[in-house]
Structure 1
């Protein structure tokens, strides 16, 4: 199972449609749950995120600009390994001011989609596409081209 904890709602309709398309495609491979939390101060958002994480099982990835970057193939391999080991992976996308120190410390891995910074809506859409791509790579489908 995959879970995304995201600060803020998708307000950009075309991006929301694209994110939903990847969410639909991803459902072919795995169950996905998205928890949207209301934006607030970084500290309040952190408290809300930690509350959602209580009792969570699986590897926790906090999306952070200082996090590890990897290729789609590396991401696919890591994701499958983590899913086999724990059954679930949780991805946290912060608000405009990032994630609290406490959330980053609670994560097993700081993960970055790019050295560039994206809005939470773009980050969610890109993450959903990369999750779909990772699962497609593992399944051997023709989606990912070398």
Structure 2
């Protein structure tokens, strides 16, 4: 499984970065992970940078995290991830949201929750859910149904 994360901004909290790194390490037996961090800027400039990064991924499935997206249980997300037969690119925008063009480029808009999270916390949740989903798909014991 090939997974690319396109993320706006850097994590400033070292503990949160360490936790993301830990989930990435746990994910490595299940998937090849590529992480691209783009600099914070205006929503328009971030949108252009995201679209440029996505332009290199013509055949990939693009999943954009957005509050108006579809919600999944962890098992449903695992099934969705497992049914994808191509590279998957996940996008998290910056603190002020995403340019409409980025949302339009998505194959799927995904909402982590009806709650609003900081983009840093959304990043940690994405790493955790990616590990959880791949662990579910491989019959691991991390997820307790």
Q: Return the alpha-carbon distance in structure 2 between the equivalents of residues 115 and 59 of structure 1.
A: 23
Equivalences, count: 143
Q: Return the alpha-carbon distance in structure 2 between the equivalents of residues 112 and 91 of structure 1.
A: 12
The equivalent residue for 2:22 is 21
TM-aligned CA deviation for residue 78 of structure 1: 0.3
TM-aligned CA deviation for residue 134 of structure 1: 0.2
Greater than 3 Å deviation, 4+ residue runs: none
Q: CA RMSD in A?
A: 0.7
Residue 118 (1) aligns with residue 117 (2): yes
The equivalent residue for 2:138 is 139
Listed one character per residue, the Cα deviations across residues 1-30 of structure 1 (whole Å, up to 9, x for unaligned) are 001100000101111111110010001111
The equivalent residue for 1:106 is 105
TM-aligned CA deviation for residue 145 of structure 1: 0.7
The equivalent residue for 1:55 is 56
Q: Return the alpha-carbon distance in structure 2 between the equivalents of residues 68 and 112 of structure 1.
A: 5
Q: Return the alpha-carbon distance in structure 2 between the equivalents of residues 55 and 100 of structure 1.
A: 18
Listed one character per residue, the Cα deviations across residues 101-122 of structure 1 (whole Å, up to 9, x for unaligned) are 0000001011011111111111
- Matched position secondary structure for 2:134: helix
Listed one character per residue, the Cα deviations across residues 69-105 of structure 1 (whole Å, up to 9, x for unaligned) are 10000000000101xx22x111000001111000000
**TM-score between both structures, scaled by the size of structure 2:** 0.96
**TM-score between both structures, scaled by the size of structure 1:** 0.96
Q: Return the alpha-carbon distance in structure 2 between the equivalents of residues 55 and 41 of structure 1.
A: 22
Of 60, 80, 87, 2:82 maps to: 80
TM-aligned CA deviation for residue 55 of structure 1: 3.1
Structure 1 residues without counterparts, runs of 5 or longer: none
